[in-house]
C-alpha cells in the first residue's frame, strides 16, 4: 500500500520515491527506478537495509521478539500443531482441515521412499563425509530422478507442485536418516506408513535389525516443536539463496539444495553444531565462561560465541525461549543430567551481563539450546544442521513458490561499485 513519498536530492536535483507499508506497518522506500532516474545504485553491505521482496509468509519483529507464520504466533503453532500441519500452512497458506490433512499425509507417505538407484549413492561417500554434503548432493540429484515434476514453470498445474513439495518434505527425512545409518555402518530402515512424520524419522534413525526403536511421545513432541520453530524465518541467508537460485527459473530441488549449502555455514544453521563443540571443549579443557566470552570479544580471532546474536533479533529470540523450556522438560522426562546444559546456562548468564553483549543486544538464538535436546534424543552433533534443514524445508518451499507466483518475479541480479584498475593494456 503506497502512503507517502521519500525525497532524494542528488547533485541538487530532487527525485521522489513511494513509501510502501506492510500489513504490520513496516516501511520501505521503493527505489525500483532509482538507477534509471538518477544513474545511482544503493550500496548496502550484507543487505542490512535491503528488502528483496514483499512476502505474506512470515512476520518477524526483531525488536520485540515476535515471530508469526501466516499470522499465527510460532509459540501457539508449536504448542497446538504437528510439524506436517505447519508445513502445510507455510506452503499452502492455511491450516489444513481434516480432509486436507489426510490428503497431505497420503502424499507424504506415497513419496517417502527414494528411488532405488539413489540408495546406491550413499555407499560411495567417504566414511566421515559430513551429512550436509550428502544432503545437498542428494537433493539436487532428485531433479535427475524426478525431472517431470520439477521444472520451474509457472504454467505447471498446482497439483504437480504439491507432489514435488510433498516428495521433498518426505524424502529429505529419508535421505537424512539414510545418511546417518550409512555413517554408522548399519542397514537402512525404510519409512513406515503407519508412523507419523517425526516418529518415522526417529524410527529410521534409531531402529536396528536387532533392537526396535521405542517411540516416546515426549521425544516426538520435542522434535515436532523443534522442527516447527525452525520452519521459516523470512529472508535469512539460506532462504535468500533459495529465492536467488530459483529466480533463474531453476527447479525446486536445485534451489533447495542451494539453501542447504548456505545453511551449513557456522554463522547460520551450522552454529548448532559449533555450540555443542564449544561446550564440549569447555568441559574437556576446564575452560571457564569468562574465558570464552573474552575470546569471543577479542578482535585477534574469528571465534564467536556461537548460538548468540542475530541479524534481526535485538531482544531474546522467541524460538530460543521455547527451546530452553523444552530442553529442561526433555532432560527431566528422560532423566538425563547433561553437564553441557549447566555449562550452557552459566555461559548465557555470563554473556547477558557482559557490557559488550549488552551494548550490541546479543542474546541466545535458536541454536544455543537446540543441540542439547538433540543430544538427549541421541542425535549426533554432525546431524544437528541436517535437523535444521528438515525443519526449514517447508519455509524454503513456500518462499520458492511465492516467488514463482509473483507476477513481478525477476531474476535476482545485484549491482556493484567497481573499484578495480581503470582501463589498461597488456
Ligand atoms: N559473539 C561475539 N560477538 C558477536 C557475536 C557473537 N556471537 N554476534 C555479533 N557479535 C558482535 C560483532 O563482533 C559486532 O561487533 P562490532 O560492532 O564491535 O564490530 C557486532 O556484534 C554486530 O555483529 P555483526 O556480525 O555485524 O552482526 P550480523 O547481523 O552481521 O551477524 C550473526 C549476525 C548471527 C552472524 C552473528 O551474531 C554471529 O556470528 N553469531 C554467532 C553465530 C550464530 O550463532 N549463528 C546462528 C544465528 S541464528 C540461526 C540462523 O537463523 O541462522
Distance 78 CA to ligand 1 centre (A): 26
Q: How far apart are CA 193 and CA 376, in angstroms?
A: 26
Q: Is 311 near ligand 1, meaning CB less than 6 Å away?
A: yes
Q: Tens digit of pLDDT for each residue in 328-340?
A: 999 999 999 999 9
Ligand 1 atom nearest residue 268's Cα:
52
Q: What is the CATH number of domain 2-51?
A: 2.20.28
Q: Say if ligand 1 is within 6 A of residue 362 CB.
A: yes
Question: Where residue 1 falls among pLDDT bands split at 50, 70, 90?
Answer: very low
Residue range 86-97: average pLDDT?
98
Cα separation values, 128 from 118, 125, 382, Å:
19, 8, 10
293-325 residue pLDDT tens: 999 999 999 999 999 999 999 889 999 999 999
Does 232 qualify as catalytic in the annotation? no
The domain covering 73-260+381-405 belongs, at the CATH homologous superfamily level, to: Citrate Synthase, domain 1 (1.10.580.10)
Sheet strand arrangement including 58-61:
58-61, 66-69, 72-73
Domain coordinates in residue numbering, the chain: 2-51, 73-260+381-405, 271-322+329-377
Kindly report the pTM of this predicted structure: 0.96
| Residue 280, all three cell numbers | 564440549
Backbone angles phi, psi at 12, to 5 degrees: 80, 0
Please give the distance, rounded to the nearest whole angstrom, from the Cα atom of residue 47 to the centre of ligand 1.
Answer: 15
- Which of the residues 111, 152, 233, 310 is marked catalytic? 310
At 408, list the grid cell. Answer: 513481478
pLDDT in tens, 159-180: 788 899 999 999 999 999 999 9
264: which residues sit within 8 A by CB, 6+ positions away? 130, 132, 136, 270, 385
Listed residue (180, 199, 179, 182) closest to 191, CA to CA = 199
Our answer to whether residue 268 is catalytic in this structure is: no
Query: Residue 125 — left, alpha, or beta (φ > 0 → left; ψ -120 to 50 → alpha)?
Result: beta
Reading the block at residue 240, the C-alpha cell is 535468500
Distance CA 254, CA 243 (A): 11
What's domain 271-322+329-377's superfamily in CATH? Cytochrome P450-Terp, domain 2 (1.10.230.10)
Amino acid at each position: 500500500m503506497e502512503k507517502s513519498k521519500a525525497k532524494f536530492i542528488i547533485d541538487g536535483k530532487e527525485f521522489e520515491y513511494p513509501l510502501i507499508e506492510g500489513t504490520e506497518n513496516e516501511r520501505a522506500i521503493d527505489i525500483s527506478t532509482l538507477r534509471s532516474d538518477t544513474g545511482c545504485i544503493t550500496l548496502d553491505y550484507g543487505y542490512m537495509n535491503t528488502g528483496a521482496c514483499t512476502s505474506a509468509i512470515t512476520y518477524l519483529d526483531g525488536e520485540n521478539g515476535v515471530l508469526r507464520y501466516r499470522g499465527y504466533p510460532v509459540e501457539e503453532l508449536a504448542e497446538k500443531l504437528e510439524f506436517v500441519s505447519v508445513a502445510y500452512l507455510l506452503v499452502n497458506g492455511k491450516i489444513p482441515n481434516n480432509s486436507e490433512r489426510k490428503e497431505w499425509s497420503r502424499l507424504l507417505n506415497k513419496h517417502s521412499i527414494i528411488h532405488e538407484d539413489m540408495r546406491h549413492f550413499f555407499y560411495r561417500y567417504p566414511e566421515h563425509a559430513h551429512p550436509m554434503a550428502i544432503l545437498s548432493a542428494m537433493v539436487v540429484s532428485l531433479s535427475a530422478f524426478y525431472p517431470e515434476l520439477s521444472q520451474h514453470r509457472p504454467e505447471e498445474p498446482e497439483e504437480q507442485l504439491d507432489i514435488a513439495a510433498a516428495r521433498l518434505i518426505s524424502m529429505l527425512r529419508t535421505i537424512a536418516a539414510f545418511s546417518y545409518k550409512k555413517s554408522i555402518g548399519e542397514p537402512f530402515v525404510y519409512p513406515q506408513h503407519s508412523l507419523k512424520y517425526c516418529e518415522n524419522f526417529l524410527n529410521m534413525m534409531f531402529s536396528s535389525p536387532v533392537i526396535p526403536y521405542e517411540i516416546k511421545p515426549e521425544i516426538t513432541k520435542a522434535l515436532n516443536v523443534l522442527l516447527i520453530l525452525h520452519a521459516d524465518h523470512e529472508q535469512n541467508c539460506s532462504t535468500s539463496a533459495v529465492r536467488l537460485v530459483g529466480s533463474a527459473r531453476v527447479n525446486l530441488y536445485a534451489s533447495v539444495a542451494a539453501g542447504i549449502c548456505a545453511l551449513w555455514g557456522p554463522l547460520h544453521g551450522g552454529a548448532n553444531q559449533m555450540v555443542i563443540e564449544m561446550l564440549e571443549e569447555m568441559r574437556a579443557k576446564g575452560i571457564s565462561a569468562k574465558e570464552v566470552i573474552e575470546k569471543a570479544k577479542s578482535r585477534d580471532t574469528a571465534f564467536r560465541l556461537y548460538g548468540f546474536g542475530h541479524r534481526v533479533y535485538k531482544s531474546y529470540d522467541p524460538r530460543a525461549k521455547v527451546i530452553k523450556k523444552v530442553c529442561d522438560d526433555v532432560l527431566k522426562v528422560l532423566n538425563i543430567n547433561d553437564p553441557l546444559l549447566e555449562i550452557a546456562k552459566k555461559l548465557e548468564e555470563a554473556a547477558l551481563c557482559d557490557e559488550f553483549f549488552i551494548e550490541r543486544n546479543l542474546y541466545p538464538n535458536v541454536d544455543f539450546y537446540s543441540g542439547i535436546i538433540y543430544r538427549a534424543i541421541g542425535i549426533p552433533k554432525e546431524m544437528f544442521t541436517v535437523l535444521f534443514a528438515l525443519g526449514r524445508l517447508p519455509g524454503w518451499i513456500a518462499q520458492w513458490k511465492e516467488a514463482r507466483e509473483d507476477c513481478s518475479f525477476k531474476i535476482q541480479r545485484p549491482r556493484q561499485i567497481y573499484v578495480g584498475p581503470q582501463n589498461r593494456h597488456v
